[in-house]
Chains A and B, each alone.
Chain A
Amino acid sequence: MIVGSPNYNGAARVEAEREALLLLLGAIALVVVPTVLDIAATFWSRADDTDGPLVLAASVFGLWRLRGTFNWHCAAAIRALALPFAVLGLCAFVIGHSLRFYQLEGGGAVCFTWACLSRIADRPVAGRVNFLCAILLFVVPFPASLADALLVPMKLMLAHAVVTTFSAMGFPVASHGVLLSIGFDQLAVADACAGLRSLLSLCAVGLLFVYFVPSRKVAHQVVLLALLPVIALLANFRRVSLLVLITYYFGADWGESAHNLAGYAEVAFTVSLFLLLHHVLNRGIRSAEH
C-alpha cells in the first residue's frame, strides 16, 4: 500500500483507535477488578448478599452489548470533562482501596468507568452508558450505619408481619426484635444491614428489567418503577416466609443451606412479578388501542 493514500490513513486510524480502545479497557480493568475483589471478599461472602453479583453481571452484560457502537465521537463537553472525572474517580479509588473505605473505592471506580466509557460513547449511546453506570452504583455496598438507621425499622416491621401471619395459621413463631424463633430454632430476619442491600439491589433488578425489556409507553414504565419498592418488599416477605417454613419442617440446618437459594429465588420472584406486570400492562395498552 502506498504511504499517504486515504486508504492507508483510514486503516491506520482504525488501528490506532482500536489500540486506544484496548488501553481504555485495560485501564478500566485495572481499577474495577481490585474493587470487585474487595467488595466480593467483604460482602458477597455473607450469605445475605446474593444480589450484588447478579446486578453487576447484568450491567456488565448491558455494557458489553454496546461494544459495537463505541467510537471516539463523543459530545464536546464530555471530551473536555472525561479526563478530570477520570482523575477524580481515581483519587477516590486510591483512598478507598488503601483504607478499606469501600463506598469511596466503589464510587471512585464507577466514576472512573463512567468517564472512560462516556469518552467512547456518542450521543445516542451516552444515555445508555449513563444509566448502566448508575446501576453499577447499586453494587457498591451501602454504609452500614446509614443502612441500619433506615433498615432496622423496616426489618422489625417485616419480622412482625411474618410472625402475625404465621402465628395466625398456628405455627409456633415469635419475634424478639429482628430474631425469629420457630419452635426451638432461631432465624434472624437477615443481618441488620444486609437486608437493605437486598432491597436496594432488588430495585436495581427492576431498573435493569425496564432497561432490557423496554416498553413503547412511558406511562407503562412509570407504573413499573413506582411499584418497584412494593415488589421488593413483597419479595423479601416471601423469602423470610419460605425460610420460616423450611426451618419449621426440616430444621435450622436445612434452612441454612436453603438460604442462598432463597436469595436467588428472590430475584427470580421479582423478575417474574415484573414480567407478569409487563404482560398485563401491554395487554391493557393493546386492548385500549383496539
Chain B
Amino acid sequence: MCSTGASGRQSTDVARSEPVIFGGLVALLAAGALAASGMMAARLRTVPASASAALDHIPQRFAGWRAIEDMDGTLAPWRFDAFGHPVEIYDRVVSRTYTDAAGHRVMLMLAYQRQQFQEERVHSPELCYFAQGFVLSARRGLLVVLPGGPATARGFTGNASGRREDVVYWIRTGDTLTSSSLLIRLQVLLYALRGRIVDGLLVRASIIAVPGDGLDPTSRQALLAGFLSALTFNSSRETRYMLAGPQGHVR
C-alpha cells in the first residue's frame, strides 16, 4: 500500500506538471515567434523612393522611333473594384505611343511598383487582357537582345470583338527578368528571405493590327521585341538598369 501510494503520488505529479510544461512551452514559443517576426520585418531593406526617377528619362526619340502621344500617369487599368473604379496598385506608370517611318504605332507601358510582396506584385498582362474580354493566342517566349545579352520575353495576341492586339512584355523583379507569376512569387520570397523587398517593373509594348499592314502575329511580335531592345540600348545607364536590371548593362 505504502509503495503503490508513493509511486501513485509521483505519477500524479508528473501528470500534473505535463500540461503546465506543454502550455508554458507553447506560450513561450508563440511569444518568441511573434518577436522574431517583428525583428525579421524590421530588418527588411526596401528600394529608395528616388529610384523611380529613372523613369523620367525614357528616351523620346531613338533608333527611328519617336514619341507622338504621352499619357503619363494614366493607364488602361485592369483591376477594378466592384464598380469599375480602377484600383491603384502601381507607384508610377509611363504610357506612351511611338511611331516610326513606316507608320507603325507602338504603345509602350511601364508600370512600376517599389515594393513587391506575395499578394502585391506587378501583374502579368495576360490576365489583364483576358479579364477585359480578350481571347489570347500565339502565346510564346521570344528572345530580346539586351545590352547584357539575350533575354526571354513573352508575346501573345489578344482578340476582342474586331480588335486585334499583339503584346510583348517582360517583368523585372529586383535583379531578375521573368514573366511567370509563379517564378515571380518565388523570386519575391527568396529576396525577402535574404532581407530584400525588391521593386518590380512591367515593361510592355503592344501594337494594334491595322488592316493592310501586311504583318502577321509573328512579325508584329518581332517588331515589338526589336522596339524594346532598341529602347533599352538607347537609354541612360540608370534607365537601362530600371528597365532590365543587370541585363541592361554590358558584361
Contacts and interface: CB of A to CB of B under 8 A. Distances in A.
A199 interface: no
A23 B27 CA distance: 6
A82 B29 CA distance: 13
A241 B131 CA distance: 20
Contacts of A95: 37, 40, 193
A152 B148 CA distance: 37
Contact of B189 (A97, A101, A152, A191): A101
B24 A252 contact: no
Interface of A: 4, 9, 12-13, 16-17, 19-24, 26-28, 30-31, 34, 42, 46-48, 72, 82-83, 86-87, 90-91, 93-95, 97-103, 112, 116, 119, 141, 143-145, 148, 152, 155-156, 175-179, 185-188, 190-192, 243, 252, 255-256, 259
B82 A148 contact: no
Contacts of B120: 100
A177 B132 contact: yes
Contacts of B189: 99, 101
25 contacts: A9-B12, A16-B20, A17-B19, A23-B23, A24-B23, A24-B27, A27-B26, A27-B27, A48-B82, A72-B19, A82-B22, A83-B22, A86-B26, A86-B29, A98-B39, A102-B118, A103-B118, A112-B30, A143-B185, A145-B182, A177-B130, A179-B133, A187-B83, A188-B82, A259-B83
Nearest to B26: A27
A280 to B, nearest CB: 33
Interface of B: 9, 12, 15-20, 22-27, 29-31, 33-34, 36-41, 44, 79-84, 87, 117-120, 127, 130-134, 160, 181-182, 185, 189, 192-193
Given A21-B23, A30-B34, A100 B87 contact: no
Contacts of A46: 81
A243 B83 CA distance: 10
B22 A141 contact: no
A209 B204 CA distance: 47
Contacts of B44: 98-99
B134 A177 contact: yes
B26 A152 contact: no
Contacts of B131: 148, 152, 155, 177-178, 192
Contacts of A42: 119
Contact of B79 (A9, A191, A252): A191
Nearest to A9: B12
Contact of A192 (B19, B38, B119, B127): B127
B37 A97 contact: yes
Residue in A93, A94, A187 whose Cβ sees the most chain B Cβ within 10 Å:
A94
A256 B133 CA distance: 23
Contacts of A101: 117-118, 189, 192
A106 B189 CA distance: 16
A188 B15 contact: no
Given A99-B192, A179-B84, A31 B30 contact: yes
B25 A191 contact: no
B132 to A, nearest CB: 4
Contacts of B22: 20, 24, 82-83, 119
Given A24-B27, A30-B27, A101-B189, A256 B12 contact: no
A47 B81 contact: yes
Contact of B40 (A90, A99, A175, A178): A99
B16 A188 contact: no
B82 A47 contact: yes
Given A26-B27, A100-B119, A191 B82 contact: yes
Residue of B26, B29, B36, B185 with most partner-chain A CB within 10 A: B26
Contacts of A176: 132-133, 160
B127 A179 contact: no
A175 B161 CA distance: 12
B162 to A, nearest CB: 13
Contacts of B193: 95, 99
B33 A20 contact: no
B41 A98 contact: yes
B19 A20 contact: yes
Nearest to B129: A177
Contacts of B87: 191
Contacts of B27: 23-24, 26-27, 30
B12 A100 contact: no
B76 to A, nearest CB: 12
A98 B15 contact: no
A100 B118 contact: yes
Given A42-B119, A98-B36, A186-B84, 6 more contacts: A30-B30, A97-B34, A100-B118, A145-B182, A192-B79, A252-B83
A212 B15 CA distance: 34
